[in-house]
Amino acid sequence: MSQQSPSGNGTSYSGAEPAAAGESAPLGVPLASLPLASLRRRFGALVLDWILCLLVASFFDPQQHVATPSLVLVGEYGFFLGLFGQTLGMYLARIRCVPAATGAGVIGVPRAVLRGLLLALVIPGLIMDVNRRGLHDRAAGSVMVSAA
């Protein structure tokens, strides 16, 4: 089931749960019109990304310093989210990270790094609003949606 974006830009979204009625992003795109990603898919993507980060960190840091996987996660988010809108885990879980203001496109490298830094702290990811946006999403101006 597919529905037309309210902005009329030809973008279509499919198979998702609507956001809370009435809430909108800063530039007026209603979050209710976006197909929000489920918490199950978001958590699954994070687990896959974390496993990848542990593997990469063990390759670059044989002594396994405690901060190395977190730094790899921030780098992975900065590169993949900033340029492509998805990490490998998000791709496999069929979700994307998009700007909340437009509902399409990529959030850019600086906002993706900010999102990754806050997510690495864990607590911002656990505090969510009714639209399933954690503090890391709100600070970066992003929202997780189902990929078509």
Q: What is the pLDDT of residue 145?
A: 92
What pLDDT was estimated at residue 136?
92
Q: Which portions of the chain are predicted below pLDDT 50?
A: 1-27
Question: What CA–CA distance (Å, rounded) separates 91 from 147?
Answer: 8
8 A C-beta contact, residue 17 and residue 35: yes
**Residues facing 2 on adjacent strands:** 14
pLDDT of residue 18: 44
- Asked if 112 and 98 count as a contact pair (C-beta separation under 8 A), the reply is no
Per-residue confidence (pLDDT) for residue 67, from 0 to 100: 85
Widest CA span in the chain:
53
pLDDT, tens only, 84-96: 999 999 999 999 9
Distance (Å, rounded) from C-alpha 49 to C-alpha 73?
8
Q: What is the pTM of this model?
A: 0.75
